[in-house]
């Protein structure tokens, strides 16, 4: 399921959130729950949380949560700490270009990501699962 808004300046339909469930051949189930709902004061463009739940335990990793947040008065408060992982990703990309090597993640990862998101959009439109 995907929420959509019409961007007032461009007339472009913009997705603001989505939920995708992926079932792998091995039986592993993955869920991608995404949203662009960050306050303008946020120190980076978005957050990534990886949560793995198995039969023997679970782990939650939040590598982009290098902040302490809350609300004060009217606005959200974001107090950054730790490394800027957005800058680290850009540095890796630029280093790959300079060193003539594939930066990580590389184009193959991007291709698979676009294929997955296209399948998710088709599934949202048809209401049916889409095989990759």
89 within domain boundaries: yes
Q: Is residue 101 part of a domain?
A: yes
Name 6's bridge partners: 13
Q: How far apart are CA 43 and CA 35, in angstroms?
A: 16
| pTM of structure | 0.57
pLDDT single digits (tens) 77-120: 666 667 777 788 889 999 999 999 988 888 898 899 899 889 98
108 within a domain of the structure (yes/no): yes
In a domain, 97, yes or no: yes
Number of domains the chain is built from: 1
Q: What per-residue confidence (pLDDT) applies to 8?
A: 47
Give residue 68's pLDDT: 60
Per-residue pLDDT tens for 7-43? 445 555 666 677 888 888 898 888 887 776 666 666 5
Q: Which domain holds residue 113?
A: 83-127
Tokens at 98, concatenated: 């300079």
Residues 6+ apart with CB under 8 A from 70: 76, 77
């Amino acid at each position: 399921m995907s929420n959509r808004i019409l961007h007032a300046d461009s007339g472009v339909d913009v997705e603001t959130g989505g939920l995708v469930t992926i079932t792998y051949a091995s039986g592993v189930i993955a869920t991608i729950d995404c949203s662009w709902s960050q306050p303008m004061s946020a120190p980076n463009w978005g957050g990534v949380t990886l949560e793995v739940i198995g039969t023997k335990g679970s782990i939650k990793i939040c590598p982009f949560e290098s902040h302490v947040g809350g609300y004060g008065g009217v606005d959200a408060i974001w107090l950054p700490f730790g490394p800027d992982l957005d800058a680290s990703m850009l540095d890796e990309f630029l280093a790959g270009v300079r060193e003539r090597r594939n930066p990580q993640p590389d184009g193959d990862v991007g291709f698979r990501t676009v294929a997955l998101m296209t399948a998710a959009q088709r599934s949202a439109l048809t209401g049916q699962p889409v095989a990759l």
